[in-house]
Amino acid sequence: MLHRESGVFKTSYAADMALYPLPIARWTVAAIILLFAVVLPLSLHEYYLSVINLSLIAIVGALGLNILVGYTGQISVGHAAFMSVGAYTAANLAVKLGLPFWVTLPAGGLMAAFIGAIVGIPSLRIKGLYLAIATLAGQLIIEWIINHTPAISGGAQASIQVPRPALWGYEMKTQGQLYFFLLFFAALAILATLNLVRSRIGRAFVAIRDQDIAAEIIGINIFRYKLLSFAISSFYAGVCGVLYTYYFGIANYEAFQIGVSIDYLAMIIIGGLGSVLGSILGAVFVTMLPIVIRLTMEPLAGLFFNAGEMSSVIASTRLVLFGGLIIFFLVVEPEGLNRLWRNIRNYFRVWPFSY
């Protein structure tokens, strides 16, 4: 339609390096930024912002997991544990040393990256399901250590209340204020990932995913890049955990248990392995779909049932619909929502002259 894709007219390295070479893509991105930074926060009710906030946090975590699982081909079911490492690091720094979020957030990420690299060591020798079990062990060990170390967990309750994030004395506590806080870091994470995956490091990850022996032969240091992948992925997870901590105002390891790791794996599989857009779509899908289903069902169920029955019906039907829709989307396009979106886009790219 509006695309101008004929020929390569690049005259500078900058033009060649651009994330979005086409003008229409740049306009679209600008429009999306405008939408999220100005239009949505001004027009949406706080409730809808809270739903977007949850999605923004999930996007950071999903991007991290996709770097590891989608780009490097190493499976991890310990993602939630790395989040808890970030969460407790930040909470301890924020409470015991009174540090602001712009110190605790990278610190939480770095600590998670360090722990993640250690948990990733088995990946040097084992692959696939075996690695999944090794990372599962990592998840349980980290949970156990936090639960049994009062110096980390802050006492029997294993939860540490943190103050709201503040910038130059301005405290962010309403959903609207937290929206900008989370949007900034989610946008940063997206931008960083887009650039990472087309860098030398990102290409090395993909080479390892596709055939690690071949990658080693062409000169990629498997040891370094596999652990780097675990570290970067865990850094994102740690940041995600810190964001959760500031969003809820508390670090609590019970919010980062094995089920959460599975949820994040579901996000990237539904969204599409090895794609940035897929991580975003998957995170939004898994976070918002149950809510959307409930919002649509509430007026419908209200016609047939009283309040008590309605709650029971909605709760059960929602699970059925959620599961059904996941199966539907995966059957329609096994490579995830990202591929589905690309198929649609490619169809309309030459529409109506498809030949």
Single residue of 66, 175, 193, 338 touching another protein by CB under 8 A: 175
Shortest separation between residue 276's beta carbon and another protein, angstroms: 22
Q: Which is nearer to another protein, 206 or 257 (CB)?
A: 257
The answer to whether 271 touches 283, Cβ cutoff 8 Å, is yes
Cα separations in angstroms, 312 against 77, 171, 201, 298, 305: 31, 39, 50, 12, 10
Restricting to residues 61-120, which ones interact with another protein according to CB under 8 A? Answer: none
| C-alpha to C-alpha distances, 20 to 11, 60, 69, 248, 338, nearest whole angstrom | 15, 21, 25, 35, 17
Q: Which region holds residue 219: left if phi is over 0, alpha if psi is between -120 and 50, else beta? A: left
In the shown chain, the binding pattern of residues 262 to 301 toward another protein, with x for contact by CB under 8 A and - for none, equals -x-----------------------x--xx--x-------
Q: For another protein, which residue of 25, 254, 262, 344 counts as binding (CB under 8 A)?
A: 254
Looking at the Cβ atoms of 74 and 287, the one nearer to another protein is 287
Segment near another protein (CB under 8 A), from 190-198, 250-258, 269-277, 332-340? 250-258
Helix (H) or strand (E) holding 251: strand 250-252
Contacts of 141 by beta carbon, 8 Å cutoff, 6+ apart: none
Residue 291, both tokens = 């809510």
The alpha carbon dihedral of 40, 4, 195, 348 has a sign of: positive
Footprint of another protein on 127-156 (CB under 8 A): 144, 147, 153, 156
Nearer to another protein, 120 or 271 (CB): 271
**Residues in contact with another protein, total (CB under 8 A)?**
45
Residues within window 300-329 making contact with another protein, judged by CB under 8 A: 306-308, 310-312, 314-316, 318-319
d(CA 180, CA 36): 9
Contacts with another protein by CB under 8 A lie at 45-47, 50-51, 54, 57-58, 144, 147, 153, 156-159, 161, 164, 173-175, 247-250, 252, 254-255, 259-260, 263, 287, 290-291, 294, 306-308, 310-312, 314-316, 318-319
